[in-house]
Amino acid sequence: MESQFETDVPIYHDPVATPPQSPYDVTHDVAGLRTLFVNVFFIGTPGSGNPWVLVDAGLAGYTGQIRRRAEHLFGTNNPPKAIVLTHGHADHTGSLRSLLKQWNAPVYAHKLELPYLTGKSSYPPPDPAIGGGLMAYISFIFPIGPDDFGDHIRAIPDNGEIPELLGWQVIHTPGHAPGHVSLFRETDRTLIAGDAFVTTNQNSALAVAQQKEEFHGPPAYFTCDWEAARQSVERLATLNPLAVGTGHGVSVRGYELQIKLNHLAEHFDEQSIPSEGRYVKQPARTDETGIVDMPAPTSFHVARALGWGLLAGVLAYALWPKSDE
């Protein structure tokens, strides 16, 4: 079978007719891997020596799992042609530095993400006061940079076409992060949405653990521009994707995907935007240098105290001696 990387006219495959090997696989040539609570994707026709591209780099500590999955799909001594970042939050770049020590691959990101990946700026801080779940309340412990990945980082071309990823279009979908992008292949309407929308309630640790399929907007605690986030979901819905892999949650295909994504786009304000929060009424202002201006935090200290309390409770329960009776 001819690889999509070797022709300007990608071969059409029906993503709905191709049974997934795991809940995170999207199509026959887009495999997914869950790293605790965030997904990475491998784009390429499986086969030893076949070219491929990695999308996102998951949490820190998952380098070995990512490499093993890549070797299973594409053989040994076969690094990716490129790594594409939907955005630079730490849960999507955690294993990037260690992977780059083994794979000499270019790393593509939107130009508005570059200040957070080249050591120039931290991300707008999370808002633990919104989201209403443990993941939101403990978000203040998540790192926000700045990170510097050096000369590996390249800006995605303005036309949205990455040379190592023929047949795919990069779509700027800001809101969750200033330079957030999604990837779309029009020939079979396959979408990698990143965190533009997700298929689990990422604000809730219980929902994350269960991986129950639910369509939600981007994780609330790290979304710094809600108007842009709504517009991004609306734009992706107009693509009428047939298969989607998201940064959090299982992959979804077919008619179910279209119905649920359209419903999310139509009811985004009431379904996804919190009633209160640091960035709800005023977004963080950013540009190609990083943060320009941010609104004042909202109930940050109360939320942080609650987060520490919930986290301590979870750890105490996990470590408490259990009776054999």
**What are the tens digits of pLDDT across the range 87-125?**
999 999 999 999 999 999 999 999 999 999 999 999 999
Average pLDDT of the chain?
88
Q: What is the mean pLDDT of residues 295-323?
A: 51
pLDDT for res 299? 56
User: What percentage of the chain has pLDDT greater than the value 70?
Assistant: 85
pLDDT digits (tens, 9 = 90+) for 160-214: 999 999 999 999 999 999 999 999 999 999 999 999 999 999 888 888 889 999 9
Per-residue pLDDT band for 11 (boundaries 50, 70, 90) equals: very low
pLDDT for res 300? 53
| Strands 38-43 and 169-172, sheet pairing | unpaired
**How many Å separate Cα 260 from the centre of its chain?**
19
User: What percentage of the chain has pLDDT greater than the value 90?
Assistant: 75
pLDDT for res 324? 38
Per-residue pLDDT band for 52 (boundaries 50, 70, 90) equals: very high
Q: What is the mean pLDDT of residues 29-47?
A: 97
3-state secondary structure 243-263: EEEECCCCCEEHHHHHHHHHH
- Does the domain formed by 4-313 have CATH 1.10.1530.10? no
**How many Å separate Cα 302 from the centre of its chain?**
28
Q: What does the block give as tokens for 25?
A: 């696989």
Helix (H, G, I), strand (E, B) or coil at 172: strand
Per-residue pLDDT band for 72 (boundaries 50, 70, 90) equals: very high
| Strands 53-55 and 82-84, sheet pairing | parallel
Q: Is the model more confident about 307 or about 140?
A: 140
Q: What does the block give as tokens for 10?
A: 């990608």
In DSSP terms, which residues pair with 33 in a beta bridge? 40
